[in-house]
Structure 1
Amino acid sequence: MKLRITEAVLAEAYRAKVCRERMEELAESIRKSVKERHSLPKMRIRLAEYGNDTELMLTAVSALRKDKEAPSARDRDFRAWMLMLCRSREHEVICYMCNELTDAWERKYRTREMLVLCDVLHTLKGHARTNEMTNRVCDYFFRERRNKLYGKTFRIEEKDMAYAESRLPELDKAVFRMTVNHYSHRTFVAEELAGLCGMGYSLMRRKFKTYYGMGPSEWLRRERIRRIEEDMEYRVELPLKEVAERNAFGSASNFADFCQKQTGMSPCELKAIGYEKWEKRRMDFWNQ
Structure 2
Amino acid sequence: MKTDFIELLSGIVPAGLEQAVTALCGEVKGLLNARTPKRYLTLEPYARNTRLCHYLLDVLTRQPALPEVSAPGCRPLLMLLALSEDTEVQNRLLHELVEPWRKACRTPEMLYLCDVLYQTRIPRPLYNMCNEVCDYFFVERRKQMSLQPTPLTEAELQYAEKRLKPLYAAVFRLKVNRYGYRTNSVEELAGMLCMSVSTFREKFSKIYRQSANKWLQEQRIGRIQRDMKYHYDRPLKEIAGRNGFESANRFWEFCTEQMKRSPSKLHKELYDKLCEERRKFYLGE
TM-score under structure 1 length normalisation: 0.89
> Following the alignment from structure 2 to structure 1, what is the Cα–Cα distance between the partners of residues 133 and 265?
49
Match of 1:230 among 223, 226, 230: 226
2:263 corresponding residue in structure 1: 267
2:189 corresponding residue in structure 1: 193
1:17-46 Cα deviation digits (max 9, x unpaired): 2422222222223233335x27433422x2
> Following the alignment from structure 2 to structure 1, what is the Cα–Cα distance between the partners of residues 16 and 60?
16
Give 5+ residue unaligned stretches, structure 2. Answer: none
AA aligned to 2:38 is P
Native 8 Å contact 2:61 2:67 kept in 1: no
SS of match in other structure, 1:130: helix
1:62 corresponding residue in structure 2: 58
1:173-200 Cα deviation digits (max 9, x unpaired): 1111111111112111112112222333
Q: Identical aligned pairs, as a percentage? A: 34
Cα deviation for residue 201 of structure 1 reads 2.2
> Following the alignment from structure 2 to structure 1, what is the Cα–Cα distance between the partners of residues 80 and 67?
13
Alignment of 1:53 onto 2:49: yes
Greater mean deviation of Cα atoms: 273-282 or 173-182 = 273-282
2:38 corresponding residue in structure 1: 41
1:117 corresponding residue in structure 2: 113
Match of 1:207 among 190, 196, 203: 203
Greater mean deviation of Cα atoms: 47-56 or 161-170 = 47-56
Greater mean deviation of Cα atoms: 159-168 or 217-226 = 217-226
Native 8 Å contact 2:102 2:132 kept in 1: no
> Following the alignment from structure 1 to structure 2, what is the Cα–Cα distance between the partners of residues 198 and 106?
29
> Following the alignment from structure 1 to structure 2, what is the Cα–Cα distance between the partners of residues 255 and 215?
23
2:30 corresponding residue in structure 1: 32
Alignment of 1:22 onto 2:20: yes
The 5-angstrom pairing of residues 94-173 of structure 1 reads 94-125=90-121, 127=123, 129-173=125-169
Taking only aligned residues, the RMSD between alpha carbons, in angstroms, comes to: 2.3
2:236 corresponding residue in structure 1: 240
> Following the alignment from structure 1 to structure 2, what is the Cα–Cα distance between the partners of residues 177 and 150?
15
TM-score under structure 2 length normalisation: 0.90
Q: How many residue pairs are counted as aligned between the two chains? A: 283
